[in-house]
Amino acid sequence: MRDSTTKLPLPVQRRYPKAPLVGVAAAVFDPAGQVLLVQRGRPPRAGSWGLPGGLLELGESLADGVQRELREECGVEIAVGTVAGLFEPVTRDAAGEIEYHYVVVDFWASWVSGEAIAQDDAAAVAWVPLDCLNSYAITADTHRLIERAHALWTASRL
């Protein structure tokens, strides 16, 4: 028996959720202005490249969540900037049912420390110059977000 102070994490139903799931992600820039990308290790979009991030935990602030996710997924510490955009992916199955639905708050961030290594659900990581983004077949939405985040990151350094 557990008392009222013991909290167990509830399992998250990612596939066919009852409500949209809240996620956080970051366009992280190193001192040279390269952005950190991850290759997804599991659905949805397994094998595709994008920004590192994941689901927000209950009671966690957005900034704390994105710092934790970057630590867990890539092994890096970051300084979180401001919100750079929102991403609202909805994936439907062959029958038209909503299989995945996320609302992701995307930040820009600066790399602070740590060597980027694929961990957790990341299959690979890469520091990518902005003029090489097309080599990673990221979505057009992600490309635009990275450009917006880079402009915010650059302005913060002036």
For residue 49, give both structure tokens: 């490249």
Confidence at residue 10, expressed as pLDDT on a 0 to 100 scale:
59
pLDDT digits (tens, 9 = 90+) for 15-70: 999 999 999 999 999 999 999 999 988 877 788 999 999 999 999 999 999 999 99
CA nearest to 91, candidates 12, 10, 11, 21: 21
Domains of the chain: 21-156 (3.90.79.10)
pLDDT digits (tens, 9 = 90+) for 143-155: 999 999 999 999 9
Contact 113, 79 (CB under 8 A): no
